Amino acid sequence: MSNSTVTILGAGLAGSEAALQLADRGARVRLVEMRPVSSTPVHVSSDCAELVCSNSLKSTKPQSAAGMLKRELALLGSQVYAAAERNAVPAGGALAVDRAAFSADVTARIAAHPLIELVREEATGLAAYAQGADALVVATGPLTSDALAEDLARFTGGEHLAFYDAAAPIVMADSLDFDKLFRQSRYEDAETGAGDYLNAPFSREEYETFIEELVNAERVIKRDFETRDLFQACQPIEEIARKGADAPRFGTLKPVGLTDPRTGRRPWAALQLRAEDAQGMSYNLVGFQTNLTFPEQRRVFRMIPGLENAEFARYGVMHRNTFVDAPRLLDAQLRLRLDALPDSTVPVFVAGQLAGTEGYCEAIRSGLHVALSTTAFLKGQSLPELPRDTAFGALMAYATDPATVDYQPMHVNFGIMAPLDRHIRSKRDRYAAYAERGEQALLTYRDGLAACGLLSSAEADVEAGRGETCFDAR
């Protein structure tokens, strides 16, 4: 490893994690990031691991798929996840971060690592960056540049898709009407006033007027989205409303678990706002990804109770999202099934949302997975099999199974996990059983990694007599 060089394209969540993990294992890393030389419609800085959609990394509840994934990140020593925890802001049962402090933290650690060279330039082709490297990792994310996407399409035979993703607006806290908003997390005692979310309650009349204006507002993209073009997990709020006037009220604007302290009753609908920074200076409109023009966002979203005079720190935007057809192109190590680049013997790994995963923690975990896969390759070893009983193992089994058809980006969830050995009627108990089973599988997997010397703490684990036998794959 000490004589190996790995080139990583893209310094997002996955690329940053892969770079730090590989460098800590002794590889020389050349991390290529096109910002600020070439920017994107949604990035606002040149920092690594910048979050552009939401500042939430989802639930921390241990007995949830998202919580299981966070346990994997913690136990396997994810550095980007550790940075998220260091820069957390209150968000109820979720992990949310001060996005500026978080990305600055990751950037500083990359810049300080003696084995990482951070190169600021746009990568327009794969072959040029494979030269002089022992492995190539492509982690350019959903906003892969046109030139690189075209080159990747040529290399893979055109097996890639482009679709649209959406980011929610952010409003300034001092422009909100706190006489109309109330602070409360779902199912929290309304009298405590200690919730991590602000809530904007709608009356029925206010809601119906808002929805009518929302669906008729001017959009940037002036056609209805076809199902295959629209990223289902990040749909614009107006597209949800277009499916039916009550659709947002049973989704993003659901009032379940909330009690308006002014009335003592559940509101007809409610928008939740989550703090964007540790000081609570700005708030994200939760679930309000949108394709409306900026003037229309200002007009329509100011119809929300409490937001009549809202100042927008960032308007919502739509942007292209690119990903490869993972079931046909990637193996369980996230390595392209094709042997190598033309006229090259360098293996190509794909990480992050470009690999067809959805979600921040999923991107971080894929960067860690690729780092382990690349390390095993460079050492001439076989990577221990990733158990399907783990959250990420279930996702990889689904995403890289050639039998999976019409693949769309997926996040970890219990729906793709192997069934339990016994039927458990209670959902709470069933999820707890999934988590317990996943924990045991994760510990066994970690022991296997340690036995192969693939973890930074492997020596201590092996000396403790844990782990399995590793073998040479050459």
What is residue 29's three-state secondary structure? strand
Both tokens of 27, joined, read: 């590889």
Burial class (CB in 10 A: 0-12, 13-18, 19+), 127: middle
Q: Does 93 count as an annotated binding residue? A: no
> For the chain, give me the number of helices (H) and strands (E)?
14, 16
Q: Does 12 count as an annotated binding residue? A: yes
Bridge partners, 36 (sequence order): none
Q: If you count them, how many residues does the chain have? A: 474
Both tokens of 352, joined, read: 């992050």
What is residue 170's three-state secondary structure? strand
Helix axes 65-75, 391-399, angle to 10 degrees: 100
Residue whose C-alpha is closest to residue 292's, from 318, 321, 320: 318
Letter for the amino acid at 276? E
Per DSSP bridges, beta strands 269-275 and 348-350 are unpaired
Q: Does 92 count as an annotated binding residue? A: no
- Whole-angstrom distance, CA of residue 181 vs CA of residue 168: 19
Residue whose C-alpha is closest to residue 41's, from 319, 290, 321, 288: 319
**Greatest extent of the chain over all pairs of C-alpha atoms, in Å:** 71
Strands, sheet with 56-59, edge to edge from the N-terminal-most edge strand: 56-59, 94-97, 88-89
The number of C-alpha atoms within 13 Å of 260 and in the hemisphere containing its C-beta is: 19
- Whole-angstrom distance, CA of residue 286 vs CA of residue 115: 39
Q: Does 10 count as an annotated binding residue? A: yes
Q: Does 136 count as an annotated binding residue? A: no
Residue whose C-alpha is closest to residue 369's, from 449, 451, 441, 443: 449
Q: Does 11 count as an annotated binding residue? A: yes
* 255 Ramachandran zone, left/alpha/beta (phi>0; psi -120 to 50): alpha
Strands, sheet with 197-202, edge to edge from the N-terminal-most edge strand: 182-183, 197-202, 269-275, 282-285, 170-172, 312-314
Q: Concatenate the DSSP letters of all residues of 304-368 into one string.
A: STT-TTPPEEE--EEEEEEEE-HHHHB-TTSBBSS--STT----EEE-GGGGTB-SHHHHHHHHH
Q: Is-contact 51 419, C-beta < 8 A?
A: no
What are the CA-CA distances from residue 303 to residues 112, 176, 271, 307 (Å)?
47, 12, 12, 7
Binding-site members for FAD are: 10-15
Binding-site members are: 10-15
